Structures are given as structure tokens and as C-alpha cells.
Amino acid sequence: MLLAIETSCDETGVALFSEEGTLVEDFLYSQVALHSPYGGIVPEIASRKQLEVLHPLVKRALEERALKPYDLKGVAVTFGPGLLGSLLVGVTYAKTLSLALKIPLIAVDHLSAHLFSIFLEREVSFPYLGLLVSGGHTALFVVQDFDSLKLIGHTRDDAAGEAFDKIAKLLGLPYPGGPVISELAEKGDPEKYPLPRPMLEEENFDFSFSGLKTAVFQLLKREGNLRNEDLCASFQKALCEVLVEKTLRAARVLGIKRIVVAGGVSANTYLRGLFQERAQEEEIFFPHPKYCTDNAAMVGFLGWIKFKKKDFASLDAEPYSRALFKKSRP
């Protein structure tokens, strides 16, 4: 049995995979209620709570399968990117198990895990275009194999999920902003306010959302109280159109017919519908919503792939807070 651990941010995830690659247990502890009063994630609170809940989650997962620690054949853990304090909790725990049980340590990249999360439900043929949209990242990859990913575009400022959260805070809405904005947008007019589509006409595959956030701020400042439903609908449409149009343009320029959309924002129903509406010959794949946000199942799947290849990490390996991928030419 392979143990997988995810502690890159505020979620604490634990999963078990069989040596045949089957997900057998998947647990997630969410800290949303802890961070909501602050309007965002407080890193120290996140890491302290993970320190408190990680071992009980591992113990529970093993007990569900009547397993003992010595039944484990390897431990996969997110090494980064993410909040360093949170990453250290998971990595230190995994290293301890690896050393004590004499089992392989498997280092998993958080962004890569998201891009392969679709394989928890179905296989997608390589190559495909991977759009990763979350609270901390917005990036476009050409995915050629499990160990071959090429970054061709990324956000130059705010990530898509970060923009949702900042607009929600601006409107006095609760954290996290994505779900509440999406819910209000369903009751609003997306054509009410003509908000900008940043970088939409540029030839590159990069994104920028700080200008959209500023446009909403200036609109509120200029016109005062506005109907939140209409403003949320207009904002959501503007942001999602940029994501969809730039991704589809990249697919057509590169001649790639398959697109996987992953990360927390990929659970947004409007974004999913817009992709399906505007895709022509492209096939669009979305993970199940429970695999869109941070989870240990996706870490376990990629860990299992690396386990089969005997791609193990040294106990001297260190977690990293920033993404390792460097942008390259398509």
C-alpha cells in the first residue's frame, strides 16, 4: 500500500493507493472555517492545524483498511510549491515514516499532481494542453508525458482564484470568494457591466487579472452601490472568457486537440459550460469537483507512477515554496 500526503496550503489530505494503482482511501480536512474570519489563509494557523490533524488522518486511513504502518510500501508527499510551513509538516512526517519503516520517499510536485488529477477517473492520451487554474496559480502547460511538462504561459500577477477572492472581499462577501461569486452570478446579468478582458488580444499565452480587479474597484468607486448579482456575473464572464479564449487559441496554434482543465477554479460551472460551448474540434476534460481542489488522491496517483519507475527522493531533499517550472517557447 502506498500512502499519500498533501499539505501544500491549508487543506490536509491523506490517501492510500494499492500497488496496482487503485485509490482505496481518501480523506481531507478543510480549514475554510478557520480562515474565513480573516478573509484569506493565515499561514501560521494553516501549518499549526495541519500539525494537529495529519497523524490522526493517517491513523484513520490505516485503520479503515485494517493496516499497520509496516504494511506501507512507500510514502508520497507534496514537496511544493506552497506555503513553506505547511509543506514542512507533510514532508517531515513523510521523511520520518520513510526512515523508520525503511520505505521509499516519493516527492510529488503540486502543480503536476493537479494536471494529472483527471487520471483518477479516466485516461487522457498524450499530448494534451493543461490549464491549471487555482487560488495560487494560473498556468498553461503542454503535457507530453507523466515526466514531461512544458510551461508555455502563466499569470503575470494575480491568479484566477486569487482574483475571485479579492473581488469577494471588495464586495464584502465571505471567503473563499469563488463559490459565493459563482452563486450570485447565476442570478445576475453578465452583460450589465462592460469589464475589460486583460491580455486577450495579445499573441502570447500569458494571463493578467489585476487590471480586471482594478476595473471593478473603479466601477464601485465611480457608481457607488451596485447590484452584486450583476457585478459578479459580469466579472465572472470577463475572467472566464480570458481563460477559455486564450487556452483554445493555444490549442489551435499548437495543433493540440485535447485540453485538461484542473485546479480549484476548474470546478466553476460557468467556466465548464463556456469551454464546452466554445470548443470546436477540441475535447475538454474536467476532473470531478472533489479532485479539483487540493487533495491527496492526486498526489497518490502521481506518486504511484513514480513508485513504479523507482523515482525516489533522498531524505536530504527540501520542500520548495515557488514553482520549479520555467516558461519556455511553445
C-alpha cell at position 202: 495579445
**pLDDT for 309:** 97
Q: Which residue in this structure is represented by grid cell 515554496?
A: 321
- Domain range annotation of the chain: 2-115+292-308, 124-286
**pLDDT for 124:** 97
Known binding residues for substrate: 132-136, 165, 178, 268
The β-bridge partners of 4 are 15, 76
Rounded-to-integer distance, Cα 252 and Cα 258, Å = 10
Rounded-to-integer distance, Cα 62 and Cα 270, Å = 38
**pLDDT for 319:** 98
Known binding residues: 110, 114, 132-136, 165, 178, 268, 294
**pLDDT for 54:** 98
**pLDDT for 324:** 86
Torsion of CA 287, 290, 296, 299, to 10 degrees: 10
Distance set, CA 216 to CA 41, 130, 234, 236 (Å): 23, 29, 10, 11
**pLDDT tens digits, one per residue of 183-206:** 999 999 999 999 999 898 888 999
**pLDDT for 234:** 97
Instruction: Note whether 2-115+292-308 and 124-286 share their fold.
Output: yes
**pLDDT tens digits, one per residue of 106-127:** 999 999 999 999 999 999 999 9
Q: Which CATH architecture has domain 2-115+292-308?
A: 2-Layer Sandwich (3.30)
**pTM for the structure as a whole:** 0.95
CB proximity list for 188: less than 8 A, separation 6 or greater: 227, 228, 229, 230, 231, 232, 233, 234
Distance set, CA 227 to CA 3, 170, 184, 220, 236 (Å): 48, 13, 10, 10, 14
**pLDDT for 329:** 72
Known binding residues for Fe cation: 110, 114, 294
Q: Which H/E stretch holds residue 149?
A: strand 148-154
Residues of the chain with pLDDT below 70 are: none
**pLDDT for 243:** 97
Rounded-to-integer distance, Cα 189 and Cα 225, Å = 16
Instruction: Kindly report the CATH number that applies to the domain delimited by 124-286.
Output: 3.30.420.40
The β-bridge partners of 2 are 17, 74
